[in-house]
Each structure stands twice: as C-alpha cells, then as structure tokens.
Structure 1
C-alpha cells in the first residue's frame, strides 16, 4: 500500500456539515475505502500525522474541529452538539464516492466522547460500524465528579482554563495562573475562578450543576458494533473506561489497559516496563480491519498490564480479596481543616503538630504480591460535622526508600454529627507487582486537595460556599480493613495484540 505524500491535498467538507472545518485524507488508488472519523475540540491540525497513517493503510481519514473550536464556526458548548454534528458528518461521509459505506469512529478523551455518542445516540443510518474509544470522557458529570459526588477540582480547572468558552486553547493557562498566585484554587467561592483567571468562563458555574451520570454506560448495553476501549491505570478515567467495556453489548468488546496516564504511552508511569511500550497506531488499524470484516471473536477480551512486573494479563483477571494487616502509626483522632488540607500533590507526611490524618502501615511484605483488581478500605469512624469527605490514599514504600502512590478513593458522607458509622471507601483498580520488603501506608484524611475540592463541613455546596469549618475525626483503628485483590500464584504473560485481535 503506497503512502500519500506530505503535501497531498485534503478535501474540505465545508458547508455539507453546517460549515464545520473538516479535512479528508484519501489513500492512493481509486477506492472506495472504509472511513475513519475523528471529531476533536483540540485542533484538527494536530492530527495530520494520524490521518496520514490511516490513509497509508487504506482508510479515508476524516478529521473535524467540533462546533465553535479552532476553524469551525458556531458557539462552543462542551458535550452539547456532538450527537447532531457527528450524525451530519457520518451521513455526509457515506454519501461520498470515495466511501464504501463502512465507518470507524475514533478518538481519545473528549474525541472519544464524540465517537461514543455517535455510536450510541445517533440514528441507525449514521452509526459507525466500529468504535475506538481511548481514555473516554463519558460526559460532563462523569468528568466533573467522583461517583460519590466529590468534585474533581484540579483536572476540571485545568481543562476549563485551557479550553473552556474559547475558540482556541492555552494548555498552560492554569499553570501560568498558579505561578502568579499559588493559592489560586484556595480562594472562595470556587465558582469565582474565572474572575481570578481574568477570563470570561460562563460555562464554569454550570459545570458543577450537572449530575447526569451514567447515560452512555447505560446505553452501551444496546450497542450494535465492536468496541476497542483503551485506558491507563494512572488516568483519571480508568474506572469509566472499564465500566464502558463491561457494559458494552455489541458483538465484541476489547480492552487495553496499560500503566499509563491520560496521554497513554506518552505518559508511562513509574511502574511501566519495556513490555508496556505498545504501538497503539498499528494496533488500532489491525483491530479496525478485523472489526469491519467481522473477524473478531464474540465477547469481552483484551489485555491489562501488570505494573512493576513488565508483563500483560488477560483483561478480566482479578485477584482474590485479601485483608492486609495494618497497624496504627498515629492520628486515630485528627482534625480535617480545610484551611490546611492534606495535599494530593505531596506524599510527604508531617511529623509534628496536631495530626491532619490517620496514618496506618503494614509490616514489610515477606514475599512479592501481584495486586490486580479493585481495592477498598472498610472502617468505622466519626466526624463532628454533618458533612464530611473521607479520603483514603494507599502508598507503597519501596525497599529503596521511595514512596509510590498506588490508589486514592474519596467518599462524601452526610449524617448527624458525632454518629459513628461503618463504611467503605472504594480505591479503584490496581494492577501492580509489589516487591518483597515493600510496606503499605494507608492515609485516611478529610481532604485530597487540589485534586478534589475541599468539603467546607457546613453542608453547603463546596463550589459556591464562602465559609469553611474544621472537622474533628475519630477512626477506630481496629476496624480498618484494607482489602486487596491478590493473585494466588505468579501469572503467565500474554501478548496484548493477541488478546485485542482474537
């Protein structure tokens, strides 16, 4: 298959889809060809190399700026118009002489949202024949809050500062603002952030009013095409990626979950090894070909990386629940003070003064542990305020003396002040080999800031309040049970491509 020259012309869709700026790159030859559609708010020009790669492999690559972004006219309203605009674009593609009618919707992050709503919400004649969704942003509510309702402050502030209510992007906007005012995110109310940024961000306040979670996952059960879901263990959308894969009702669903951050292979974690370097572009193309020809085996398959072990396991591998023994170091009685919150960006633990967290630790592991699956903490505790967040952070203290974050969970609870209760904090998925000699440190705190907004402890909305109260906490250390999913024996490695393409 010959490649297209770097200066090969592109075809503009233009007014065919309400004037949205769209490029088409065609393979050499007469066609017709299967098409790949990528709709993005991050500038279609950034995807030229990706489009050339698809075209070299026989796909017509269609890349579009979503409404109101970069060269596309209209008003930018995140998540608002993607089903309608994607529908118009898909119908246009299928009418073109170079299209053979087959369509793959692809994208990462917000672009994955565009692909998914086209697959799950568009009329039948516009739906793609296959979907590749990498680190998918399922919706505005899913991106803004944890399932417990706790606000994801830092990630959303960074995204809205960079992309919100503007035609172009400034990826460094929040970092520049924090350099000028390190306490930027501590100022109240949080809905006043646009004024402190010196930006007009009318959609910022509305972001926090949206609580419509789970729409796409519920509709995924009725999907009618194959899915390839790709995510990272260190991505903030990991749980959403896995939930989408679990719920998918199409003829086949594949999952690839590596030791990566939101930028996937470009953002490897400290637990990534040589075996975790995957050529995603090549894998996408090979999967798309098999998906379009019906060669994929039915059912859910895929691969997940074992961080620190430099190997891959079949997707769906989960360890057996095991309670890890912990002993209290200090802080069974501590104060969660929103004026001095436990920081999400600092793994250091203060050694003096009034405790700001309950701290527990395990003895050194006598042998390696392969922890694969969902972890959780069960405990009994009391807060002297009617509203309280409980943040649990699990850290591996390696034999070399380094601290490595393994998992974090944040739970919001509303109940009468001073009432002791038992509850569970979900820590999310872990896929990590822990070496012999590693100690596990568990921190139980009232805040995880600035990754998450501070609970003011007054019962008021954390995004609109201007008043904060300290909250005294008491943890029954004997009740704390850390449940880890541990594989009973050393696993055998599999090939990720084999699991994805089977």
Structure 2
C-alpha cells in the first residue's frame, strides 16, 4: 500500500504535512488519525497495518515540527484547532465514510484528546460533529503541561522534563540523546540551581537555547482533560503501563470518562514495550487489539460501561479492572514496626540533606551507620505467591523540622535470591509548622504484579528522590526558584504508619482482548 504526503490546511492556512495510506479498493473507508510532534514518518509501518485492515490511516506532523511549518508551543499551541480542521478535512475526502478515530501515544494522545474534547454545545445525537472524532485511542497519555511537569502530590519531575525538553523543546526536529550527551560532558548538570535557569547551563551542552524552559513550571492546573472527559460521549480506549510514570493519569482519564471507556494496563513502561525475554504468554498484539476495538466502537457495539484489564506482571494473567479499583475489599495492610508487616531496620530518625539526596537512579541502600539518610523497612518472606492489582498507598505518621518537606516512599521487591526489582514509588510535598507530627498519605501508583513465594518487600522513606525529582530546599521557597538548600531532620513513627497493597483476594482472570472489546 502506497503512502503519499499531502498538505492539510490549518484554520489559518498553515500547511500541515500529512502522510495518507489508503487500502486497496474504491469503497468508502473509516479513518484513523495520528497527530504527532515526533515525526510522522516513524508511523509508516503503523499506517500500513491499519490500511491492511481496511482503514484509511493518516499521520500528521503537528505545527512547527518536522515537515509542518510554524511555531510549536507544547500544550499551549494550536493542537485542538489544527486537529479539528484535519478531522473536517478527512470527512470531506472522496474516500471517507465520515468515521474518524483519533489515536496517539504520549503527546500524540494529548493531541487526540484535545481534538475530541472542549467542544461547546456538541450534539451527542448527531451522526458526526464536524471536527470531532467518533472515538479516541489514548495510549500512555501525557495530559498537559502541569500534569507532566509535576507529580500529583507536588514535586517536580526533573529528569523526565529535562530529557524531554532537551530532545524536543524549542526545535523543529528531535534529538533523543541530547540530555545523555550533555550529562556526559557535565555530570552535575541537574544539580544546577535555580531549576528555572537550568536551561542556561543546559544550553552549553546542547549548543542551543531553550527559552521555553522557565515557562514549563508556571502552569499548575492539573486534571483539565480529565474534567472535560466527564462530559464526553464518544468511546475511549485508554492504554497504559504499570511501569509508566503517567499510569495514574491514564486510570484517572478512564475512571472519569463520560462515554463508553475501556482501560488496558500492561506490564510496560512509557514506550509500551516489554522485555523481549518475556514468555509469549506475557505479550499482547496491541495493533490487532486497536483494530478490533475501533471496529466495535465505530459500530456502536461497546457496552455503555467502564471496564478493562490490568496485567499481573509478566505472568500472562490479566485481572478485571473493576475488581482492581477501590473499594474492592482486597486491600491488605502491612503495619510498620511489626514482625508480620514491615520490620524497621534503621532510620526511624534520619537526615534529609538536599546536598546529598537519596538517588532515584540507584536501588542500593546503606547497610546502617550513625547517620541515616532514610527510613528503611523490610518484610518477612511471602509464605505464598501474591497477586497485586490496583492502587497502593503508604500512610505514615511523621515529623519534619522544616516548613516544607517532600516524602518519597519507594517499594522494592527482593526475590528469594536477593535480586532487587522496583515495585512502586510515590512522592508528595507537605508544608506545615516545623516539628509538628502529621499523618501523610503517599499514593504509590497502580500496581499489576505477581510476587512469588519467598519475596521480601523493602520500603524506603526519604526526603528526596533525585534526579528523577527536583530537590526540596526545605526553606519554604519554591524548589524551581530556590538557590539555598538546608537539611531537614525527620522522624517516622512506626506505630502510626502502614503500607496498603491491593491484594487480589479471589483470582478471577480475564482475557484482555474480549474484555476491552465487549
């Protein structure tokens, strides 16, 4: 199947470079539209896959990227209007039957969603609303500027944003390895203060300016697309990975969606790929699933409900998301300081020093010593295999002697041989009177794992998780603007602290494809 490149006019006349792949034959076709800042040519195999199943498939460079002229302003530009114009253009083509699925992953998922949402007075009874797709596939959705820049609990996502902005910000094309090269030349690059002016130092390694970097941190309004999704009536397929940093946003989008909504959470990271060494039972053909779901969605065959499936790690087993979502009754509490829960090894009192922060890029933990930098706890070996599916939470009773404090909780699974595997991570920011005990809830994300018998759970409670997250200066100043760092003394009260894990009490497995497409 041939792919041709055309120019689709934006509302102001800007020509948007668009690859079009049509199936053989002359009958009218449904269409799939992907709008991306990452280069439309990378989707050519995907377009041919859609066309082989009878869909007209299009991939478009967003304004200001790759083959499309103009200026690109991530999350603040023309994505909704340009997407709506492209959907209208598709419906005007001689090969179109009028049905359009907007699809995409990461920022491209954002493009698909804003095209489908924020449309006032749309008539849900109309066959097609001009400029609005009929269904949306949103994979690992990066939902907005504020949603990607900060955790729901406040701390800034430093490593991910620096890497993304270095690779894609303020340029017409992409350079995926830009941050790695800059760090090779300047290993302490991400320690630069203030964070708001990091781009000035980063520019030396990149050989170019990043003028949009400071504005990245200005927007603090989270959840806009999730809120708009409550009024949507078109079908949604939300796809994510339990190892993806935006898994909680994917679940929130699905949970709040107003139309028929399906959720698929696999054992994947942000690239939706699994380790190639995994057994075949742990793999899933996402392309075939997308096609089957799109056909059901456009034909109106989806039940008007909200359900889906979550993978139990690489076991090949999938759990019903209805049973994985609280209140499922399968929650298990692991109290701190208990022989049957999490035993305190050391660090009930510790020192969180932003000059020597606990590292996010190492699972090594201190063996002990007089100057703990974290609270460390360990469970006894699991007496039997444990299935986890759903939201995990740490609840800690703790004290900080500074007016602002971040609380990072990292959960690691240690297999019977002692090999460490990351299980969950959560970090929240709390402000309050110094020295005053507080009950702090730290969401640990969405788990989908099967832990074998003999596994131990190791929990770390720290004041930093750097460089994944910017360091809290502990002064009460905004961490993005701060230039002065001070240490913070912490106390964790084991008696008032516990870990709540979403244990699958009754193993009722589902097949993911039929579950998503019914």
TM-score by length of 2: 0.92
What does 1:121-270 correspond to in 2, within 5 Å?
121-122=118-119, 124-198=129-203, 199-250=208-259, 252-264=260-272, 266-268=273-275
Contact 2:9–2:85 (CA under 8 A) maintained in structure 1: no
Q: What is the match of residue 99 of structure 2?
A: 102
Show CA shifts across 1:260-314 (max 9, x none). Answer: 00011x24499x6532211111111111111111112221122110115331112
Q: What is the match of residue 21 of structure 1?
A: 17
1:276 aligned residue (262, 282, 298): 282
2:364 corresponds to 1:348: yes
Q: What is the match of residue 57 of structure 1?
A: 53
2:79 corresponds to 1:85: no
2: distance between equivalents of 1:9 and 1:392?
A: 49
Shift of 1:122: 4.0
1: distance between equivalents of 2:398 and 2:275?
A: 36
SS in 2 for 1:107: strand
Show CA shifts across 1:365-413 (max 9, x none). Answer: 1222212211111121111110000001111111021011111110100
SS in 1 for 2:479: coil
Judging changes above 3 Å, is the alpha-carbon distance between structure 1 residues 191 and 63 closer, same or farther for their aligned structure 2 residues? same
Q: What's the RMSD between the two structures over aligned residues?
A: 1.5
SS in 2 for 1:136: coil
2: distance between equivalents of 1:49 and 1:335?
A: 52
Contact 1:84–1:122 (CA under 8 A) maintained in structure 2: no
Show CA shifts across 1:34-55 (max 9, x none). Answer: 1111100001011111111111
1: distance between equivalents of 2:229 and 2:279?
A: 33
Judging changes above 3 Å, is the alpha-carbon distance between structure 1 residues 205 and 267 closer, same or farther for their aligned structure 2 residues? farther
2:441 corresponds to 1:447: no
Shift of 1:13: 2.8
Judging changes above 3 Å, is the alpha-carbon distance between structure 1 residues 81 and 269 closer, same or farther for their aligned structure 2 residues? farther
SS in 1 for 2:291: helix
2:297 corresponds to 1:291: yes
2: distance between equivalents of 1:438 and 1:467?
A: 42
What does 1:324-335 correspond to in 2, within 5 Å?
324=334, 325-335=341-351
Judging changes above 3 Å, is the alpha-carbon distance between structure 1 residues 97 and 346 closer, same or farther for their aligned structure 2 residues? same
Contact 1:87–1:122 (CA under 8 A) maintained in structure 2: no
2:416 corresponds to 1:399: yes
The 10-residue stretch of structure 1 (34-43 or 306-315) with the greater mean CA deviation from structure 2: 306-315
Contact 2:281–2:315 (CA under 8 A) maintained in structure 1: no
Structure 1 residue ranges (4+ consecutive) displaced by more than 6 angstroms after TM superposition: none
Contact 1:396–1:440 (CA under 8 A) maintained in structure 2: yes
Where in structure 2 are there 5+ consecutive unaligned residues?
Answer: 121-128, 335-340
Q: What is the match of residue 125 of structure 2?
A: none
Contact 2:3–2:19 (CA under 8 A) maintained in structure 1: no
SS in 2 for 1:244: helix
2: distance between equivalents of 1:90 and 1:423?
A: 46
What does 1:21-40 correspond to in 2, within 5 Å?
21-40=17-36
Contact 2:400–2:490 (CA under 8 A) maintained in structure 1: yes
Judging changes above 3 Å, is the alpha-carbon distance between structure 1 residues 359 and 305 closer, same or farther for their aligned structure 2 residues? same
1:410 aligned residue (413, 416, 427): 427
The 10-residue stretch of structure 1 (383-392 or 191-200) with the greater mean CA deviation from structure 2: 191-200
Contact 2:289–2:513 (CA under 8 A) maintained in structure 1: yes
1: distance between equivalents of 2:300 and 2:268?
A: 30
Judging changes above 3 Å, is the alpha-carbon distance between structure 1 residues 457 and 52 closer, same or farther for their aligned structure 2 residues? same
2: distance between equivalents of 1:82 and 1:122?
A: 13
Contact 1:261–1:269 (CA under 8 A) maintained in structure 2: no
2: distance between equivalents of 1:32 and 1:11?
A: 20
TM-score by length of 1: 0.95
SS in 1 for 2:130: helix
Show CA shifts across 1:101-141 (max 9, x none). Answer: 11000000000000001111246321111110100011111
The 10-residue stretch of structure 1 (165-174 or 305-314) with the greater mean CA deviation from structure 2: 305-314
2:400 corresponds to 1:383: yes
